[in-house]
Amino acid sequence: MTHNKKGKSAGSHLVVITGPTGIGKTSICSDIAAAYNSPVISADSRQMYKEMKTGTSVPSQNELAKAQHFFIGNLSVHDYYNASKFETECLQLLEKLFENKKIIFMAGGSGLYIDAVCGGIDDLPSVDPELRKELAIQYKYRGIAWLRSKLRKLDPEHYEIVDLRNPNRILKAVEISLMTGKPYSAFLTGTKKNRPFNIVKIGLVIQRSELYEIINARVDKMIGDGLVEEARELYNCRHLNALKTVGYKELFDHFEGKITYDKAIDLIKRNSRRYAKRQLTWLARDSKVQWFNPNDRKGITSYIVKSTGIEPDYPVE
């Protein structure tokens, strides 16, 4: 097996390991990437923010030592970032990495970011600034419940998969729907851009009840690891888009006296479970995802070998 063959990325492979929050994507991907002596690209839209380590469960020092990771802690919460930027930067990085490696790994659960790299971002019409301004005013005075209701009427299909705690994404869908008279989802054509590398998609899945227990325990661990203190340090930045994130938003409400501490923890667990459900709904749209139990590392590795023709340097147990 040759890992260091120079040249273009033709004949190269991007292996994507994805799944819902808390299922163990980072751990599995780090172990398999280490066996291939290959790097890992993070496709987690929140692990990129250096100030949000605890609340986003960034890779541990042990995981980072196993394989080189990219897009971890590379941004500040003050930076503007989106899936389109990730597509551009990630493709540029892949071109460089493929000069020395024939197989690169990607781990994460941000479906939009993964889709951007694998198939491109759909071209959307520009929004009328006046319409955007009017909707922003309506949202300010009528709240997110009104915004959600608006989207549900205009585009029930997109309502089922959008992050309902992210007003910016809901606003974007409502804007496009109102401006064009067509649901936002109609513009998400799924027309794929050709990539000069093979893409292998692996999804991790377990029983929903087991996943929810893991998520609840994970939240407890985050609290023990200092999530409350981290959120308190970021409280003055709570208006930033990066911090409209499960784990932070609930604690901000607690700091403001809107809810009790115990209620905040319960809501973090509930909203994390709901986020996992939306992730699974998003991934279910993609017939190219091959599903595995996260404990089946041997099966996952065998599938990678079968799909790429490349053997790891040593077995993955």
The hierarchical CATH code for the domain 129-187 is: 1.10.20.140
CATH 1.10.20.140 in the chain: give the residue spans: 129-187
pLDDT in tens, 16-48: 999 999 999 999 999 999 999 999 999 999 999
Total-model pTM? 0.80
Residues 158/163/166/172 CA torsion (nearest 10 deg): -20
Distances (CA, A) of 293 to 18, 218, 299: 12, 19, 9
Residues 170, 147: contact at Cβ < 8 Å? Answer: yes
Residues 41, 114: contact at Cβ < 8 Å? Answer: no
Low-confidence residues in the chain, pLDDT < 70: 1-10, 123, 126, 189-191
User: CB neighbours (10 Å) of residue 155?
Assistant: 21
Distances (CA, A) of 107 to 32, 33, 187: 11, 10, 27
Give domain 13-121+192-220+280-308's CATH number out of 1.10.3720.10, 3.30.1490.100, 3.40.50.300, 3.10.105.10: 3.40.50.300
Report the residue count for the chain.
317
Residues 33, 40: contact at Cβ < 8 Å? Answer: yes
Distances (CA, A) of 209 to 94, 212, 213: 37, 5, 6
